[in-house]
């Protein structure tokens, strides 16, 4: 959530990538080199930014722009298409809001801090607190929104009769409210309750509070608790879907010897009439439309959860362990873990739009109207 430091020395090996906002403890002196203006002017020295540095910075800028634009496109589509003004698209919209804020408010300042000489925060105490608060708020909200989407899909599959449209609307509104309320509590706790300090004026460092108790509270509330929720929910989704699909196939009626058989088109329900019994049976010659829809949704949630875990678990493991053991990772790994977590905000809209043809059609319609 906060930025880490990936400094690259003037020899061209180093890349100033990472802010002290993301460091999980003070780095040992001399571990990361930096190039001062005076050093860069000395003869025989290489310029402070190597080709590798420029390449990485360019990729990060593209990541920021793509994350912002893609999530903004999803938001505009949901607002303009009336069919999307309902569940579960309100959960998708909440996720897109958190992700677009990550791209607009958090990632740019993180990149600026990554590039600062000596890995120092030079933008003042107030902006440091604002940045750290938005960092924790938006990333936590993004993570909990993924959990909310998984919960909604779980109830839709396992309780499709009780989980009516009205109940679903109320549940989604409650989950969105709780998501942002809990995220705000985690983000503002250090400021409201004096739970550690984000800004160190003497060392010019800006980082999430390294108080061990806050590290446990924030990492559990922002990641490990929603991680447990989504893993449990997807396991239940998988079991429920497997049970329902298997039961439907077992209930399928085999062809009966009857004088009259009326068959629908392939992959549709086949109606079999028999004159001997006053029963009308249905035989499934393929997956029904509802089965296919539920399978597609289950796959989407599975990929969404898998990408979420891969993107964030390295960062939060380091974030929890480092303050507790008073140790520190090499700055390069802090930056890699941090930006891997940020990239989850880029993957979210790609995943839930790729599995929904309505979004693709809406995108085409939106762009065609602009011409």
Q: For residue 113, which of 199, 38, 183 has the smallest C-alpha distance?
A: 199
Q: Is residue 22 a part of any domain in this protein?
A: no
- Locate 273 and state its tokens: 């009439």
Tell me the CATH number at 95: 1.20.1070.10
Do 249 and 264 meet the contact criterion of CB atoms below 8 Å apart?
no
Q: Is residue 186 a part of any domain in this protein?
A: yes
Q: Is residue 215 a part of any domain in this protein?
A: yes
CB neighbour burial string for 38-65, b if at least 16 within 10 angstroms, e if fewer:
eeeeeeeeeebbbeebeebbeebeebbe
Q: Is residue 82 a part of any domain in this protein?
A: yes
| Helices within the chain (DSSP H only) | 37-41, 51-80, 89-101, 107-115, 125-158, 165-193, 212-219, 225-251, 289-325, 331-342, 344-354, 357-370
Q: Is residue 338 a part of any domain in this protein?
A: yes
Q: Is residue 24 a part of any domain in this protein?
A: no
| Residue-wise DSSP of 40-58 | HHSTTPPPSS-HHHHHHHH
* Overall size of the chain counted in residues: 371
Q: Is residue 73 a part of any domain in this protein?
A: yes
**What's the total number of domains in the chain?**
1
> Domain range holding 111?
51-251+297-363
pLDDT of the chain along its 371 residues, tens only? 544 444 433 334 344 444 333 333 333 333 333 333 344 444 444 445 688 889 999 999 999 999 999 999 999 999 988 888 888 899 999 999 999 999 999 999 999 888 886 667 888 889 989 999 999 999 999 999 999 998 998 888 888 788 888 899 999 999 999 999 999 999 999 988 888 788 877 777 888 888 889 989 999 999 999 999 999 988 888 787 677 666 555 555 445 445 444 444 444 444 444 444 444 444 444 456 666 767 777 788 889 889 999 999 999 998 888 878 877 788 788 889 999 999 999 999 999 888 788 888 888 887 776 65
Q: Is residue 283 a part of any domain in this protein?
A: no
């Amino acid at each position: 959530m906060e930025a880490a430091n990936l400094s690259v020395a003037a020899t061209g090996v180093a890349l100033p990538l990472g802010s002290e906002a993301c460091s999980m403890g003070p780095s040992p002196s001399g571990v990361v080199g930096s190039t001062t203006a005076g050093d860069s002017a000395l003869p025989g020295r290489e310029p402070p930014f190597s080709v590798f540095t420029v390449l990485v910075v360019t990729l990060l800028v593209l990541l920021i722009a793509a994350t912002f634009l893609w999530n903004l496109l999803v938001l505009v589509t949901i607002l303009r298409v009336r069919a999307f003004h309902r569940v579960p698209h309100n959960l998708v919209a909440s996720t897109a809001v958190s992700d677009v804020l990550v791209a607009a408010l958090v990632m740019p300042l993180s990149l600026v801090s990554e590039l600062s000489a000596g890995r120092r925060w030079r933008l003042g105490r107030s902006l440091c607190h604002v940045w750290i608060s938005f960092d924790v708020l938006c990333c936590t909200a993004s993570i909990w929104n993924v959990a909310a989407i998984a919960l909604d899909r779980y109830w839709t599959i396992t309780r499709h009769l009780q989980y009516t449209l009205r109940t679903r609307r109320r549940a989604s509104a409650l989950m969105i409210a709780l998501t942002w309320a809990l995220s705000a509590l985690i983000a503002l706790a250090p400021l409201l309750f004096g739970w550690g300090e984000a800004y160190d004026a003497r060392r010019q460092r800006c980082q999430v509070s390294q108080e061990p108790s806050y590290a446990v509270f924030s990492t559990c509330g922002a990641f490990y608790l929603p991680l447990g929720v989504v893993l449990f929910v997807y396991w239940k989704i998988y079991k429920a879907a497997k049970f329902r699909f298997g039961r439907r196939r077992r209930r399928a009626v085999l062809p009966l010897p009857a004088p009259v058989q009326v068959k629908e088109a392939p992959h549709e329900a086949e109606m079999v009439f028999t004159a001997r019994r006053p029963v009308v049976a249905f035989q499934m010659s393929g997956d029904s439309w509802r089965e296919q829809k539920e399978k597609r949704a289950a796959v989407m949630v599975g990929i969404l959860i898998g990408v979420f875990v891969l993107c964030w678990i390295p960062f939060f493991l380091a974030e929890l362990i480092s303050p507790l053991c008073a140790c520190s990772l090499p700055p390069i790994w802090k930056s890699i873990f941090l930006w891997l977590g940020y990239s989850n905000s880029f993957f979210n809209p790609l995943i839930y739009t790729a599995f929904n043809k309505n979004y693709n059609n809406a995108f085409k319609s939106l762009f065609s109207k602009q011409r």
